[in-house]
Structure 1
């Protein structure tokens, strides 16, 4: 296994080059070390795992690029595609005037395109700024980030404005002998605080409760609000705030994967606890579905990027963490002038942030 670690003042990020997953992210602030990202309990255990697992599941960690998201049913590849399951090389990794910048390249091509991953750290910023660039290729590709955080005592979520939330036709674990779920499938709600539950009634998507043993998956569609798309998670036991940000024009959906002891078979075995995937993407579920007709397209939501010889496309994403007392996530996040403003309950705080990075307002072809 090869790990590539980059550092700037107050932050370090390590990439597992065997599969392109972030193995660790540490934010040093106010005398604390915050680790916002999850690493599956079997990764470093040295235990025997089922032979048919994709490498991305064997080494499940942090965040990774899915291309395509979910099933690779157009071009042969493992679940979530080669970027999540195969080797990356370091093309460049050097200190900059105010931090560090590293460029990694996927050894596999995706639909004939080369894929670069660019990490940027800035001194004093509690954020990983990342960009993926596809060069050349043909056809179309769906994409998603797959950051996972983990909690010991649950947490509270807040989001940028969404049009609605919806579940798929079928749950992830329909067989009660193998797992369990709590949301209704299919279901839809414009009120994230009142989403239909499997047993009747409603559940609050903004609340992550540790006593809710479940494996659930729900898609949030961004509203047209003109700002960054964001998800904020106040982790109760950890006493911190995890932030995930995107440009909604690039990545118009946020998929929440609630994995809290809801799978009983190996390697999950009921021990994958307190995990939340905050998966910003331009995708439906599966490559073929994403480039064909699907329910999101019928809602006017783009679900793939077009590839082409002599062309390149890119999209950007941010993950951050900071201390938080009181356990209440912000109700509003804005960015301007090199700062991020987090507002909650009539008060607010400012943190250093590259407010130009996400290129809000950039036109992105469907």
Structure 2
């Protein structure tokens, strides 16, 4: 195959997968469960083949599945933010891209062993990151995929990083359950993710996903999906054991994500629940992002490197990188019957 192939796929005894060069995004994925059923847990945004999609930012053009982000996040205005956050929120860098260079550009296929797909992407000369590499390997004995992600840097630096798995949800309200297990603390977003589409109270903490402080007062159950409300929200979870799962009761399967918690000490939950009404979202986007991160709510490098409220609580929001030691992390997506 020539390097211009936009997509490559793999099939194995327990499923089939596709990877696209843009963002090195993984989807669609079909797993063959032990009971013989086929399930497809990864989300694919509905607009990639619509007129005008080619003019969208790279990350949105064919938004789908799972991909890595270096640096993770993007800068937002500090207007109206709590002072504890506003004082550490800097403006975007001139070359800043939403969720980093790797999320917005075409990667290059690398030679890889049989039964795997591998890609790399060189970063611009001015970046401290030299290149990133990603290898996707289906487990030959299970409906599961193992992924290795590597970061090589030109000079010592600190950066927020994250993984960005986005999962499909059933149509019926509450027909899926987000399963996190015990965690130390959850945090609500300190402002509005999408004005007019708020659900959770600003800048609050909680210890149960079923009882998240709500904007009108009281609490909301953030574990049953999709949500009834049209909303766009973020929650950050700290102190997990490095695993999370989504049980899709409508389709009778569970998809589990596991990661290295020493690399990604927080989990960012992106509730995209018909909240964004502008194009290309058009009030129809329904998915859950289950995103292991070393980041403060995806607020971009300036905030991640500052002494922000999450850092002050003892949770890292940026990782140290060195030219002498390439950063390597591994994680896994697997499916099973309910």
* TM-score normalised by length of structure 2: 0.86
Matched, 1:242 2:247: no
CA distance in 1, matches of 2:259, 2:94: 27
Q: What secondary structure sits across from 1:182 in the alignment?
A: coil
Alignment of 1:60 with 2:46, yes or no, is no
The equivalent of 1:344 in structure 2 is: none
Deviation at 1:75, TM superposition (A): 7.0
Q: Pick closer, same or farther for the CA change 1:301–1:210 going to 2, 3 Å.
A: closer
Question: Aligned pair 1:2/2:10, yes or no?
Answer: no
Residues 86-114 of structure 1, C-alpha deviation per residue, up to 9 Å, x if partnerless? 1111212332xxxx233211133552321
Q: Which runs of 5+ in 2 are unaligned?
A: 76-91
Q: Cα deviations across residues 277-314 of structure 1 (Å, max 9, x unaligned)?
A: 00111112211111222122111111222222232111
On the 8 A contact 1:20/1:64 being kept in 2, the answer is yes
Structure 1 position 50, deviation (Å): 8.8
**Aligned residues of 1:140 and 1:304 also touching (Cα < 8 A):** yes
Task: Report matched runs for 1:1-366 at 5 Å.
Answer: 2-29=6-33, 30-43=35-48, 45-49=49-53, 51=55, 53-71=56-74, 73-74=92-93, 76-95=95-114, 100-109=115-124, 111-138=128-155, 139-152=157-170, 153=172, 154-174=175-195, 176=196, 180-223=197-240, 228-273=241-286, 275-284=287-296, 285-324=299-338
Say whether the 8 Å CA contact 2:32–2:39 is kept in structure 1: yes
1:18-69 deviations in Å (ceiling 9; x for gaps): 22111311111222211110000001x3322494x32111111001111111
Match of residue 352 from structure 1: none
Once superposed, what is the RMSD of the aligned Cα atoms? 1.9
Per-residue deviation at 1:136? 2.8
Partner of 1:162, secondary structure, is coil
- Contact 1:63 1:147 (8 Å CA) reproduced: yes
State the SS of the aligned residue for 2:310.
helix
- Residues 117 and 131 of structure 1 are in contact (CA less than 8 Å); yes or no, is this contact kept in structure 2? yes
Q: Give the stretch that moved more between structures: 246-255 or 133-142.
A: 133-142
State the 1:7 CA deviation. Answer: 2.9
Provide the secondary structure at the position in 2 that maps to 1:257: strand
Q: How many angstroms does 1:238 deviate by?
A: 1.7
- Indicate the structure with greater strand content: 1
Measured against aligned partners, the alpha-carbon deviations of 1:159-197 in whole angstroms (never above 9, x if no partner) come to 1321111012102112x3xxx121111211123221100
Q: Deviations over 1:234-266 (max 9, x none)?
A: 112222111111121111111111111111111
TM-score, structure 1 length as denominator?
0.80
Task: State whether residues 43 and 166 of structure 2, in contact with CA within 8 Å, keep that contact through their aligned partners in structure 1.
Answer: yes
What secondary structure, in the 3-state scheme, does the structure 2 residue paired with 1:169 have?
coil
Change (3 A) 1:50 1:5: closer
Residue 360 of structure 1 corresponds to: none
Q: Give the CA deviation at 1:126.
A: 1.6
Q: Distance in 1 between matches of 2:236 and 2:30?
A: 28
